[in-house]
Structure 1
Amino acid sequence: MYETLLSEATHLGIDTYEKQMPHRLKGLYSKNVILINKNMETSYEKTCILAEELGHYYTSSGDIVDQDTIEKRRQEKIARTWAYEKLVPLSKIVQAHKEAIKNRYELAQYIEITEEFLDDAIKRYKEKYGATVNYGGYTICFEPLGVIEWIDNSF
């Protein structure tokens, strides 16, 4: 997935570099350049950060590094939501159900993201939809995470 996001960034004219950065800073987007902290432990973590930085490309404006205003925090939330919907779309949750994925750990591995990112995505979906959402003949439950498949009774 990381390579797919790198290709998307390149297609958009965004240069992406992995660089030594302060530990607390995992990624940064500015003026068609994305920096990813080289010291992250896994490619899954890099994938999550790259998706968020692409979210800033699509949704943010100005310098929001310091989260000192409500507007800057709002832009951060919008960029993260974009990343959640990009990497953990509802269709992927249903697809994982069809593949007999049994728990959050397996789901994170299946999607190639961190468990923390998955948990944050699920929290955001709960904020957006409530406890459940209907999606294409399925009901996705967010707590506990699960998918209910509806039987077609038109026979």
Structure 2
Amino acid sequence: MQKFRELLKFKYTWRSYQQKFLDGFQSHIKDEHLHVVAPPGSGKTILGLEILIRIGKPTLVLAPTLTIRNQWRSRLLDFFAVHKDFNEYSLDLKKPSLITFSTYQSLFALTKSFDENEKQQLLDFITSHGIKTLVLDEAHHLKNEWWQCLYHL
């Protein structure tokens, strides 16, 4: 967790409703699950980044499109990176980093690239790379076949 805190810190002032949510964060996360539902433009991505920093474990962020995936990276670098040369992230699911941004389609493709027992191999892959936190952005847009690999995780 210390590594996250050293490298990433929100650079601005939280909106009042974001601060209220963050003040109660520990009680929200007691069961190790959290759902954030809010209108477009309300700062869900920024909150998501703050949450994964507070959790402080290697994280996989999944988005439905490359545009949204890239938005996560952009918000991380613009709003949180303390050092301009921050590079503890990856856009390549096959080469995870402290924070890995990818798409549901890439996760599905990775799962399909395994031979027999693909779901177990996916779990082994995630485990072997030390990924402990999973962020599912815009999960209501998922195609049916993309859910299959997520259920196992």
- TM-score, normalising length: structure 2: 0.30
Higher strand proportion: 1
Larger Rg: 1
